[in-house]
Structure 1
């Protein structure tokens, strides 16, 4: 029987080559290496998702992503200090956790600035806890993210101010950024998380960011995500949510930027009597395209989920939910 050799697109070939070039500089722990190798093997087998895959029917990445931009260089600490993030927050006072080109800034000093009961650790293992490892976008994120930033909010902790996870692209030419963040909200803890994505206009940046939020029993979590990337940006993002017993999670996705964006949400009810509210709003013009894809797994009984997504489109733009 003749084996079939997949014909890879220019972008798929470049992504595979990027991993090979990056491999020697990646963390060498056994767990992280195994996860990355499994992820790149999964991507090699599937390639970029196309319209014949139902979840990607309206956002054909194989057709839309013509080439893969070079990986962004690690920013200097000086660059991190000069970044202004969250320009749209107004008077909201938040604890800033800033990522420049996918890398956490001021990791050593950050711990002392966070509120009591909150810890942050940079780990080499990017294996997903909640996200689907077989999804091609997640697989690429697992393989090419150079660190996993783990944030722990302790049991019973109530945050008086939001945690602001600010993802900023510092780019003068096309570049690609991969980042992974895992957040655990402890038993009966209460927290508000703001996640923002920003980048320059007129530069064809690319991004693939995975965020996982595991909310333990009786936790209360509010999560607001704002995409304010540049007008030429190609933005891929994945949110994983896990809800424990009697847990409440509210997540709002706001789309203000990017030429092409696809945000996928995987929510799993791990405990009974949990409540999930997922909302979204998009404002699109020109030829911009924004896709929000949602999968909710009611793995246990007595859970409640509600969804409301609205998109305002102008000119030749398109929105998908």
Structure 2
């Protein structure tokens, strides 16, 4: 009889598994059978697989089993005072006329009325609307992902948002973490965008630099035919935090989705995107800038699946990695046999600012159709010596010269943000990060 080796559970894995029964019992009052089933499915996947580790290909460069030394308890001590304190804080991005949906330690707070939107609070709904129940029941390609399984098991709040057609909408999904000791949060947001609807969505994450909190957010979008969505994500999570975030998308015929991400926060961050394009002539543009220093570990992982013909996708990411930080970019474009005439291009470019900085690039193409135009590329290097010499010879001090070149490098990706006011606010954040650099 063959013996099968069982992996030794880490203290964090044991703590997560042990905390689930009592947590699920306390949370059983909301969500109904759909949420209960999602919890059981999620914890079953976790018990079978444990935390993601380097032996899983998509987690090879971000070994969560080794990096997560202690699992913080799920946050449950929500109060009105905590909500008021969070709501009183200044927003990280100024958005005129935006509906602000505030999430405090995972819980949804109706901070500003969402005019023209239908919003259901997951923590108060005894049962879920059909779109939410379908999202939980759907066995997506990413359902087995380790972070997604944990989110479904320990979801402690969130919302379902329906965006109707009509006047363009502006929505701010504002996630804030507040507390005096370590905790974990697992918000789940489902956004249903109706046919021909137009919306700008800004997602922001922030929290105290003094607390080693842990977040694991899941946001799922469904774009109906001819919907147009511009999406901007800003990660300014606390300096000691672990920030895991998953964005899952389904895109229908003639829909357009543009995403830009600016990532500067968290000790360990991973933003993973799973995009399923099942409609003809859809258009997808994904871009981002990651700025990492100290001992930060910043991971962007994405999978774009083209299932229908005559679709277009672009992925353009730039990293600036300083000191002993590590960057990760994993991108995969998958073209199904029926997705003829697909036009896809992926590029990742990195500037390393020290000998200790590291970057892991892994672009991939999986093409099963014969009439496509697809390509990918990745570069990694330092600042150009000739450009630096030119700047120095014009009298610019080293700090200013390097900042100008780095701002220009990040600026090419920032140009993909269509809203000028939003683009300039993001540029200011890049400049503020560069201004803090200490050149040895």
- After TM superposition, the score normalised by the length of structure 2 is 0.68
Q: Distance in 1 between matches of 2:284 and 2:190?
A: 19
Residue of structure 1 equivalent to 2:109: 105
Matches within 5 A, 1:227-306: 227-306=235-314
1:82 and 2:88 aligned? no
**Do the aligned residues in 2 keep the contact of 1:77 with 1:105 (CA within 8 Å)?**
no
Residues 1:121 and 2:120 are matched in the alignment: yes
Question: Displacement of 1:143 after TM fit?
Answer: 0.5
* Structure 2: tracts of 5 or more residues without a match: 123-127, 330-440
Relative to its length, the structure with more helix (as a share) is 2
Q: In 2, are the aligned partners of 1:205 and 1:232 still within 8 Å (CA)?
A: yes
Secondary structure at the aligned position of 1:172 is classed as: coil
- Residue equivalent to 1:221: 229
Alignment of 1:1-321 (within 5 A): 1=1, 2=3, 4-27=5-28, 29-83=32-86, 84=88, 87-90=91-94, 92-106=96-110, 113-116=113-116, 118-123=117-122, 127=136, 129=138, 132-154=142-164, 156-160=165-169, 162-321=170-329
Could you tell me how far 1:93 is from its partner in structure 2?
4.2
* Count of aligned residue pairs for this structure pair: 314
- Indicate the structure (1 or 2) with the bigger Cα radius of gyration: 2
Q: CA deviation at 1:68?
A: 0.2
Higher relative contact order, structure no. (Cα contacts within 8 Å, ≥ 6 residues apart): 1
Give the Å deviation of 1:38. Answer: 1.3
Contact 1:120 1:150 in 2 (8 A): yes
Greater CA deviation, 19-28 or 192-201?
19-28
Q: CA RMSD in A?
A: 1.8
1: distance between equivalents of 2:19 and 2:166? Answer: 41
Q: TM-score, normalising length from structure 1?
A: 0.92
SS of 1:115's equivalent in the other structure is coil
> Over residues 191-247 of structure 1, what are the superposed CA-to-partner deviations in whole Å (9 max), with x where a residue is unaligned?
000101110012111000000111110000001111111100111010011111000
Cα distance in 1 for residues equivalent to 2:89 and 2:267: 20
Displacement after TM superposition at 1:159 (Å): 2.6
Q: Is the 8 A contact 1:27 1:33 kept in 2?
A: yes
Residues 131 and 99 of structure 1: is their aligned pair in 2 closer, same or farther, counting only changes over 3 Å?
farther
Offset, 1:46: 0.6
Give, in whole Å, the separation in 1 of the partners of 2:4 and 2:300. 36
Q: Distance in 2 between matches of 1:149 and 1:87?
A: 19
